[in-house]
Structure 1
Amino acid sequence: MYDFHTHFIPEEIMSWVKENKTKVNAKWIEKDASKNTFLEINRKWGFELKDAFIDFSKYSSELKNAGITHAVTSPIPQLFMYDFDPVITTEVSRVYNDALANLSNSNPDIISALGTVPLNSPEQAAELLQDAMNEGLKGAIIGPGISGHMLSDDYFIPFFEEANKLKAIVFIHPLLSEDPRLKRRMMPNLIGVPWETTVCATDLLLSGFTDTYPDIKVLFAHGGGYLPYQLGRLDKGFKQWGAVSTNLKAFPSEYAKLFWYDTVLWNEKSIDYLKKMVGEKQVVPGSDFPFDLSAWPPIQVNKDEISTLFIK
């Protein structure tokens, strides 16, 4: 069994955060309802420091207990640190990548890993991606953009040109939506997270991204958000408006089949629909372990493809 979408925080990163707690506004919070401490960075999106996040023996034993034979692990979005000066983002990215490379190279039968890059400095991001892949990482996990820039903007050309050259995996993972209407009932996570993916995925699709960068394996978290459900609307817009069709050579629904999607949907019928819309070969098993809303263990699909394209 495979799991493409998991997260881990190496000891080196926890040490870096503690050493730089003032620079990144790190805060450890005790909550009565939890036995674990919560970590908050820059007053945003605190998360529970479960043992499986920070203890590799616990992480790997949980994989084994769930029947997972190989997992792809990634840095956590809370530690992308795009809000800070690129010097800080680059430093933490290097520490994270080196630590995950050491971990995956020491445990090649259990895990593969993706790195993180300073998306707020695309030239540096390109350099770190090359370094990470030279160390044995498979690519990088990135957010859906940074403040003021969507991923289709020319601003990110240096990073995507390098990713295309390296035939990297680029796993696009959303951050919490800051829409003020969602500040209640856990909606930033429940619907804000897939909404951020929807906006990013639609923007990349309509920009003709895959024609420009055909060798990047773009994977969208959480089943692509709401994009697969609205492909008919995009196709209608393609026929109706030049602003939709200008950058495309085929219907949006055909371009959607060139991306990859994980199965973090918590519903087999939703996964079946996703496979019908984008093709079974474009869907890979994922869980989002060990976050609270992980789909654990992941539903297995497309095992041969994930083995040959994403792991080996």
Structure 2
Amino acid sequence: MHDFHTHFIPADVLNWLKENKHTVHAEWIKKDENKEEFLVVNQKWGFELKKAFIDLELYLENQEKAGVTHAMISPIPQLFMYDFPIEISIEMARIYNRSLAQLVKRYPDKLSAVGTVPLAYPEKAAQVLHEAMSMGLKGAIIGPGIYQHMLSDSFFQPFLEEANRLKAILFIHPLLSEDPRLKRRMMPNLIGIPWETTVCATDILLSGMIDRFPELKLLFAHGGGFLPYQIGRLDRGYEQWEQVSSSLQAPPSQYLKRFWYDTVLWNQNSLDSLIKMVGEDRVVAGSDYPFDLSVWPPKEVSNKGAHRLLGDAVQII
């Protein structure tokens, strides 16, 4: 069984955070005696630093217990470092990518990985992506945009052109939503994260970006957010409004089948509906391990999506 949605923090990354804790405002806070310390970066992004995030032996042991034969590791979104100056963003990305590449080389049968890039600086992000894939990574995990820029904006063109050339996997995974209406009852996580994915995925679809960069392998976390569920509304808008149809060569429901989606939905009816809409070759197993809501092993699905997603990338010399 494959798992395309897991997270890990290598030792070199953790050491860098400790050495640069004042620069990136990293704090280790004990909130609950029954839990591990929370790591908070930039006085903003915090999460429980569970042992499985940083202990490779434990991660691999739990992987084996769960029956997961191969897992794709991703950096954690809390360490994207998009809010920091370019030097910090690039340094973190390169350390993270190099560390993950070393893990993959040690355990090629058990692990693959995507890296991270300084997305706020698209030309540098293109360069770092190239470096990461030359070390054996499959692409990059990225947020749904940066500041006021959506991923379909020309701002990101240098990065997207390189990712397209390399046939990279771009795993789109948001941080918590900062919508002030959601600051209660865990809603930034419960609906904020899939909402951010929905906005990003809908914008990409309606912009025609996938036609401009047809070799991109766009994987949306958490089953694509709410987009698949509302695709009928987009199709109806396509029929009625030129603002919706002008950049598209087919109805939105057809573009829905050109992306990939993980199974992090935790509901069989939702997963069945997604597979019916996009096809089993566009859905890959994912668990979100080891974050709080993760379920390991992930829901098992056909390997067709895994084979298509992991198809041949450009050989980098």
TM-score after normalising by structure 2:
0.97
Deviations 1:16-51 (A, max 9, x none): 000111111101100124331110001112111111
Contact 2:169/2:309 (<8 A) preserved: no
Pairing 1:97–2:97 present: yes
State the Cα distance separating 1:151 from its structure 2 match: 0.4
Q: How far apart in 2 are the matches of 1:234 and 1:167?
A: 28
- Local SS of the residue matching 1:261: strand
Hey, what's the Cα distance between the residues in 2 that align with 1:242 and 1:6? 40
Q: How many angstroms apart in 1 are the aligned matches of 2:197 and 2:253?
A: 17
Q: Tell me if 1:268 matches 2:268.
A: yes
Q: Work out the percentage of aligned pairs sharing the same amino acid.
A: 64
Q: Is the Cα–Cα contact under 8 Å of residues 101 and 135 in structure 1 kept in the other structure?
A: yes
Matched with 1:192 is 192
Indicate conservation of the 8 Å contact 1:116/1:141, yes or no: yes
Instruction: Determine if contact 1:112/1:311 at 8 Å carries over to the other structure.
Output: no
Match of 1:60 in 2: 60
- Give, as a single letter, the amino acid of the residue that structure 2 aligns with 1:140: A
Count of matched residue pairs: 312
- C-alpha distance in structure 2 between counterparts of 1:33 and 1:250, whole Å: 55
Aligned counterpart, 2:26 = 26
Kept in 1, the 8 Å contact 2:280–2:304? The answer is no
Correspondence list, 1:165-204, <5 A: 165-204=165-204
| Aligned residue number for residue 2 of structure 1 | 2
Q: Report matched runs for 1:156-235 at 5 Å.
A: 156-235=156-235
The answer (yes or no) to whether the contact 1:201–1:224 under 8 Å persists in 2 is: yes
Contact in 2 for aligned 1:265/1:295 (Cα 8 Å): no
Give the alignment's TM-score, normalised by structure 1.
0.98
- The answer (yes or no) to whether the contact 1:29–1:37 under 8 Å persists in 2 is yes
| Structure 1 Cα separation of the partners of residues 34 and 156 of structure 2 | 40
Which one-letter code corresponds to 1:243 in the other structure? Q
Deviation, structure 1 residue 268: 1.0
For residues 99-144 of structure 1, the C-alpha deviation after alignment (integer angstroms, 9 at most, x for no partner) is: 0000111110110000000001000000000000000000000000
**Equivalence for 1:251:** 251
Distance between the aligned counterparts of 1:98 and 1:297, measured in 2? 27
Q: 1:47 aligns to what SS in structure 2?
A: strand
State the shift of 1:207 in Å. Answer: 0.5
Is 1:127 aligned with 2:91? no
**Structure 1 counterpart of 2:46:** 46
SS of the aligned residue for 2:298 comes to: coil
TM-aligned CA distance change 1:308 to 1:259, over 3 Å: closer
Cα displacement string for residues 72-118 of structure 1 (whole angstroms, at most 9, x for unaligned residues): 00000000010111111011000000000001111101100000000
Quick one: which amino acid aligns to residue 172 of structure 2?
Answer: I
> What's the secondary structure of 1:28's corresponding residue?
strand
The whole-number CA distance in structure 2 between the counterparts of 1:295 and 1:173 is: 17
- Equivalent-residue separation in structure 1 for 2:49 and 2:206 (angstroms): 38
State the Cα distance separating 1:295 from its structure 2 match: 2.8
1: CA distance between counterparts of 2:309 and 2:182? 37
Per-residue CA deviations over 1:250-292 (Å, capped at 9, x if unaligned) read 0001001000000000011110000111111100000000000
Specify the alignment match of 2:281 in structure 1: 281
SS in 1 for 2:310: helix
- Partners of 2:197 and 2:308 lie apart in 1 by 26
Counterpart residue identity of residue 309, structure 2: L
CA contact (8 A) 2:66 2:297 kept: yes
1:305 alignment partner in structure 2: 305
Name the aligned partner's letter for residue 79 of structure 2: L
Deviation at 1:225, TM superposition (A): 0.2
Which amino acid in the other structure matches residue 84 of structure 2? F
